[in-house]
Structure 1
Amino acid sequence: MSDMLADSHLLTWLIEQQLYICMVIIVLVFFEKKLLPSLGAKLSYCLWLILPAAMILNNLPLGFVAIESNEITRYLVSIKPPEFSLVELNYLPLVWGLGVLIIIFFGFFAKQQQQIASSLFPASSKGLPISLPEKLRLYHSDSVSSPLLLGVYTPKLVLPTNYQSVYSQTQLRMILEHEIYHFKRKDNLCNSVAIIFLSLFWFNPLIWVGYFSYRRVQEISCDSAVLKSKTKLQSIEYGKALLICAEQTSTKLCAYTHYGEKSTMLQRINNLKQNKSPKPLAQLTAIALTASLLSGIAVAHQGESHGFKQERVSPIVRIEPKYPVHAAEEGTEGSVVLVYDITPGGLVENVSIVTAQPQGIFDRQAKIALRQWKYDKSEGGAKRLLVQLDFAMGKDSEKAPDLLERIKVTQ
C-alpha cells in the first residue's frame, strides 16, 4: 500500500509540473522555428537550460514551520454503494510506469543500439585528417551508416567501415570536428538526461515536441561551431556530407548523437545556406524574455505557498474511507482519531492512530484514506493535526462522542 501511495504522490507531482514545462517548451520551440538564425545556434542551445532551471525554481524547498493545533476536525463516514475509482484500481501509476519502461528501453537498450555496440572493432586514428582528444577512442562498424558517438560516460567515436570511400578528406575533417564538439560538450550525457525527462513526462505531447526540437538545435549548434571559421567552399562540402548522411538515416529515440532524419538534415542544410550572423538585439530580447519567464515561475511558486491558518485546515482532496465489510454486516459503528502532518507540498505523512472506539475495527481503512488526502501548498506545512472519522451506518445513527475529550495526545 505504501508503494501505491508513493506512486500516487509522484503522479500528482508530475502533473503539477505541467503548466511551467509547457510554457517553457512553447517558448523554446518558438525560438527554434522562428528566431534561430537571429539568436544564433549556440545561444538557442544554451537556452534549453531554462527547462531544468524552471523545474528547480518550481520545486525549491520551503522552510518547514511546525504548526500545532489543539482543535480536531470531524468527518462522517457512512456506507455507500461501490463506485468506480481510478485511485482504488491504481491503473494510472501502472500505465505511467509502463510508458516509462518502454521509453527507457528504446532510449538506452533498443535492439539497434545493441547491434551497434556488438559490431564495434577498434581502429587506429593515425590516418584521420584531424587529431582526436586523448580520451576519445575510434571504432569502426558495419552497422552504422553515418558517424556517431556511442556511450554516455565514455563515448566512443564510431565511423562506418567504408567511410574513406564515402567522404572526401575535407568532408571527413569537418564531420570529425562535429563529433569532437559533441564529445567536449558531453552531449551524450545531456541526451541521457533528456530521455529520462521524456520518460517521466511521456504523457504530455509537448514534451515530445520539445525533445526533438532540443535534438535538432543540438546538431545545428555543432554545425555552427564547425563552420565558424570555414570558407564558403568548405561550407558547401559540409552540406554535401550531411546529404550523404541523410540518405540512410532515420529518426531514433536514443542517447547517442546521430545526424537525424531527412527533414532535420534538410533544416540543417537550409540553416547553412542562410548563414546569417546573430542579431544582438534579438539575443538580448530572448535572454530578457527567458529571465522574465523564470522570475515569473519563481514568484508564482512563492505565491502558492500561503501559510495554513491554525484554526481552519481543509483538504482539497479528501478520500473517504471504506466501511469495513465485517463491521457493516454486524452493524458496528465507531470512531477513529488520527494525528498527522502536512508537508509544504500539501501531502499527508506520519499518519498514526491516537485512539479508536472500538479498537482495531476501523483503524486500517481510516489510515489508508487519510494518507491519500491532499492540501494546498504552504510555506511551512503543518504538524500534528487531529482528525476524527466517525463511521456510522446511516444518517439516523446516534452522533458519535468526541473522543478528543477523553485522550491526551503525547508530543
Structure 2
Amino acid sequence: MMLWMAQQTLLLSLVCGGLLLSHRLLQQHLGAHKTYHLWLAIPALLISSAIMALLPSPFSAVQAEQLAHYSVMASKAIASVKSTDYAEILLFIWLIGVGSMFCLLLLQAIGLKRILRTAKPVEHQQATLPTFQHPSVQSPMLVGIRNAKILLPANFNRLSDDEQHSIIAHEQYHHQRRDLISNLLAYLVLTLFWFNPLCWLAYRRFRDDQELSCDAHVTRALSKQQKISYSQVLLAYSQQAHHGLLHTHYGNKNILKERIMQMKTSQKGQSGLAIIGLTICLGLSGLLLNQQVQAGAHEHNDIHPLTRVEPKYPIQAAKAHQSGFVQLKFDISPSGAVSNVSVIESSPEAIFDKSAVTALKQWRYKESAKGLEGAKVQLDFMIEPPATDVERIKVTP
C-alpha cells in the first residue's frame, strides 16, 4: 500500500505541478473548457495504475530474476534488520489524515441536510431542477448528487430577469455536466493524497477551472450589457461565499478578477472529439508513466527481507572445516511470510540443507500487493570470510 502511494504521489506531483505551472498558457491557447477537462489526467493516471496492478506485469519476470540473485553484505548484522517499522507509523499517520478528511465531508453533508430541511421551495419558470431559498445561503449553489436541487439566497428575487436566468443556467450546466460527481471524486483523490501540498493546490485550481468553464458556457451568447450584469452578480455573491465540498460555489472571490476578465475575451468552444482525443492521450500517458515507475521500482528490489534469521552452522561440518552453499527456492505471501521452501542445489549435498531451510522459513519479507512465487536465494556456509567485493550471507560456525 505504502509503495503504491509513493509511486502515485510522484506521478501526481508531476502532473499537478505541470498543469499548475502552465495554467495561464493553457487558458490562453485552449480556452476554459479544454483546460478544465485537462484535469482528467488525474483519474486517468490512477485508473492506469490500477490496470497495471491487475494485469500481468511485463516486469514480473525481471523482478523474480533479480530476487534470484539477492544477497547481502556479510558484515550486516541480523539484529540491525529488526529496526523500527516506520512503514506502520506512516500508515497510522496517513489513516488519521484520511479519517479527518472523511469527517469534514460528513460534517458538510449534515449541514446541507439541515439547510434543505428548512429551505423554502420556490418556482422559477426557467429552472428544470427543484429550486429552494434559505436565509443562511449566501450564494447560489447546486446540491445533491442523486436528487439535484438549486439553493438560492433570500435576495435572489431582487435580481433582474436576465441576472436570474444566467444564474439558473450556470447551476443547471453544473448538473448537466455532472460536476458534483466530479467534485466528489476529486475530493476522494485529495483524501488519499492529503499529505501532498500539490494535490491541495490542484484541487482548488480544478474547482476554480470548473467555474470558469461554466461562466464561458453561460456568457458565450450574452450581450456586452448582459455580461456586465453577470459580472455585477458575481461581485455581489462572491463576498460571503464559502468553498463547499458537496456543492458548487457560484461566488468565488479568489478568482473573481479572472472570471470577469475572461468575459472580455472570446472563448473557444468545447469540441467533443477534441475532449475524447485528449482523454485518450492522457490515459496512454498515464499508462506509460506507470510502466516507467514500476520498472524503476523493480530495479530496486521492492520485495526485500525485513528480518533474516542466520542458519546454525552444523557442529560436525564446523569440526571438519567444511564450507559449502545451499540454493533455495521459496514463495513469499503478500504479508511477507515465507512458504514452500525447497532445495535446488547444495554442496556438499545434504550437509547444510536442514539448517538453511529451517532458517529461511523464519525470514520475513516486506509486504506487497501480490507477493512472489519462485523466489531464490543462495546461502553460503564458510569457515573463512569471503572476499570483500562479494555480497553474500555469511554463516559462521
- TM-score, length basis structure 1: 0.70
Q: Check whether the contact 1:171–1:238 (CA below 8 A) recurs between aligned residues.
A: yes
Residue 87 of structure 1 corresponds to: 86
- Tell me the amino acid that sits aligned with residue 354 of structure 1: V
Q: 1:228 aligns with which of 202, 220, 240?
A: 220
Q: CA deviation at 1:188?
A: 0.5
For residues 398 and 176 of structure 1, do their structure 2 counterparts lie closer, same or farther at Cα, with a shift above 3 Å needed? closer
- Tell me the amino acid that sits aligned with residue 56 of structure 2: G
Extract unaligned runs of 5+ from structure 2. Answer: 313-325, 343-352, 387-392
Counterparts of 1:205 and 1:140, CA distance in 2:
36
For residues 337 and 370 of structure 1, do their structure 2 counterparts lie closer, same or farther at Cα, with a shift above 3 Å needed? farther
Counterparts of 1:180 and 1:374, CA distance in 2:
43
> Which secondary structure does the structure 2 equivalent of 1:278 belong to?
coil
For residues 192 and 205 of structure 1, do their structure 2 counterparts lie closer, same or farther at Cα, with a shift above 3 Å needed? same
Residue 170 of structure 1 corresponds to: 162
Q: Check whether the contact 1:31–1:44 (CA below 8 A) recurs between aligned residues.
A: no
Q: Check whether the contact 2:70–2:377 (CA below 8 A) recurs between aligned residues.
A: yes
Q: CA deviation at 1:98?
A: 1.1
Residue 109 of structure 1 corresponds to: 106
Q: 1:354 aligns with which of 335, 338, 341?
A: 341
Counterparts of 1:225 and 1:398, CA distance in 2:
71
Q: Check whether the contact 2:234–2:256 (CA below 8 A) recurs between aligned residues.
A: yes
Q: CA deviation at 1:85?
A: 2.7
1:65-76 aligned at under 5 Å gives the runs none
For residues 208 and 304 of structure 1, do their structure 2 counterparts lie closer, same or farther at Cα, with a shift above 3 Å needed? closer
Check if 1:118 corresponds to 2:105: no
Q: CA deviation at 1:292?
A: 7.1
Residue 6 of structure 1 corresponds to: none
Per-residue CA distance 1:377-402 (angstroms, 9 max, x = gap) = xxxx963224477999xx8999489x
Instruction: Provide the aligned length of Structure 1 versus Structure 2.
Output: 354
Check if 1:318 corresponds to 2:321: no
Q: Check whether the contact 2:38–2:278 (CA below 8 A) recurs between aligned residues.
A: no
For residues 269 and 64 of structure 1, do their structure 2 counterparts lie closer, same or farther at Cα, with a shift above 3 Å needed? closer
1:333-372 aligned at under 5 Å gives the runs 339-340=330-331, 351-354=338-341, 365-366=362-363, 369-372=364-367
> Which secondary structure does the structure 2 equivalent of 1:170 belong to?
helix
Residue 138 of structure 2 corresponds to: 145
Q: CA deviation at 1:240?
A: 0.8
Residue 157 of structure 1 corresponds to: 150
Q: Check whether the contact 1:151–1:256 (CA below 8 A) recurs between aligned residues.
A: yes
For residues 144 and 30 of structure 1, do their structure 2 counterparts lie closer, same or farther at Cα, with a shift above 3 Å needed? same
Q: Check whether the contact 1:337–1:386 (CA below 8 A) recurs between aligned residues.
A: yes
> Which secondary structure does the structure 2 equivalent of 1:233 belong to?
helix
> Which secondary structure does the structure 2 equivalent of 1:101 belong to?
helix
1:32-71 aligned at under 5 Å gives the runs 32-61=23-52, 62-63=55-56
Extract unaligned runs of 5+ from structure 1. Answer: 1-9, 328-334, 376-380, 402-411
For residues 64 and 299 of structure 1, do their structure 2 counterparts lie closer, same or farther at Cα, with a shift above 3 Å needed? closer
Residue 270 of structure 1 corresponds to: 261
Residue 405 of structure 1 corresponds to: none
> Which secondary structure does the structure 1 equivalent of 2:5 belong to?
helix
Q: CA deviation at 1:236?
A: 0.8
Q: CA deviation at 1:185?
A: 0.7
Q: Check whether the contact 1:37–1:278 (CA below 8 A) recurs between aligned residues.
A: no
Q: Check whether the contact 1:149–1:183 (CA below 8 A) recurs between aligned residues.
A: yes
Counterparts of 1:386 and 1:115, CA distance in 2:
57
Q: Check whether the contact 2:44–2:286 (CA below 8 A) recurs between aligned residues.
A: no
Per-residue CA distance 1:172-211 (angstroms, 9 max, x = gap) = 1110100000011110010000000011111111111111
Per-residue CA distance 1:20-52 (angstroms, 9 max, x = gap) = 222222332244333414322111112211222
Counterparts of 2:231 and 2:122, CA distance in 1:
24
- Tell me the amino acid that sits aligned with residue 95 of structure 1: I
Q: 2:96 aligns with which of 92, 95, 98?
A: 98
Q: CA deviation at 1:304?
A: 5.8
Q: CA deviation at 1:306?
A: 6.0
Q: Which structure: greater helix fraction?
A: 2
Counterparts of 2:19 and 2:80, CA distance in 1:
49
Q: CA deviation at 1:116?
A: 3.2
Q: Check whether the contact 1:341–1:385 (CA below 8 A) recurs between aligned residues.
A: yes
Q: Check whether the contact 2:327–2:378 (CA below 8 A) recurs between aligned residues.
A: yes
Q: CA deviation at 1:374?
A: 10
- TM-score, length basis structure 2: 0.72
